[in-house]
Amino acid sequence: MRCSSVLPSALLAVLLGGLCLGPARPVSPRGPYARWRTNQILDKAAGLRFPGPDLTRQDIRIVTDVPYGAGERKLDLYLPCHPECPVVVFVHGGSWISEDKALYGRLGEFLAVHGVGAVLVNYRLPPEVNVEGELQDVAGALRWTLENCPTWGGDPRRLFLCGHSAGAHLVATLACNPAFLAAANLAPDVIRGVIAISGVYRIGWNVVWHGTGYVFRGVDRRAVSPLEHTRPGLPAFLVIYAERDDAYKIKQARTFHGRLVEAGAESELYEVPGEDHYGTIIHLGRPNAPQGGRILEFVRQH
């Protein structure tokens, strides 16, 4: 069935600055290290870059490289057919220094086909910014989505943040520490829910002295540790980790979930059976991937 568009394609293009509609462009990772790191990830995927069921592409609308700021600050939109849909803003990982939204087009398609708008975010990377600059960019992408999603059928009352790995850290920090939302003139209740996948939630010395931990040097580590900011009144959390994630990330997920519950916040902990750190996100759109179904259920419940 062909999509009954929320807005005519031409009008949507005008509203979004005359951008072309069509499939996401090939991955163009940013910078030499980013290219090397992205190739590593694709090698791990072993040819499974965008696995999943055959999706009816005409049932969704795709808009790529929508600017929400200068430079690398761009978004890809995956839009379902019906109006007033919930919207998931997805933030990629990459150890805070690499990767690109274009790696996750299959995730955007999966969400849109199931009636959920998807906004895939590119944010500035080092050496241009440190982690605080990345948080500013994610907040800016959230603000853009809040202000613009009604023009393409998104419901601004049902905005969700989702991130994988370093992206999970960024979205959890944004949701837990109100200072970063306030700096973007956003109220804490703008976020309906958070889906944090295989993230790090306390920035300790083991992270700072990691090969890419320089993004935290000179930064108040407590301010960017969401585990230190759990409290009542936070948005609902779905904390996901892989059965074969490394032990540190599994411990971080369980501890973060426990702190959220102790603080009186709503949180669910979910282990993805049989998957490792990359498989959890790479295989998310597969028909039998339980994490995809759980994410959809979480969004629909909230």
Tens digits of residue pLDDT in 29-51: 455 445 445 444 544 443 334 43
Average pLDDT over residues 141-146: 98
Q: How far is CA 101 from CA 68, 75, 118, 179, 190, in A?
A: 14, 8, 11, 26, 23
pLDDT exceeds cutoff 70 at 273: yes
Average pLDDT over residues 146-159: 96
Residue 232 burial (C-beta neighbours within 10 Å; 0-12, 13-18, 19+) = exposed
pLDDT exceeds cutoff 90 at 59: no
Which of 68, 116, 113 is closest to 300 using CA atoms?
116
List the domain boundaries for the chain. Answer: 9-301
Ranges 46-60, 197-211, 268-282, most confident: 268-282
Give the pLDDT confidence score for residue 236 in this predicted structure: 98
Give the pLDDT confidence score for residue 81 in this predicted structure: 86
What CATH number was assigned to the domain covering residues 9-301? 3.40.50.1820
- What's the pTM? 0.84
CB-CB neighbours of 33 under 10 Å: 16
pLDDT exceeds cutoff 90 at 138: yes
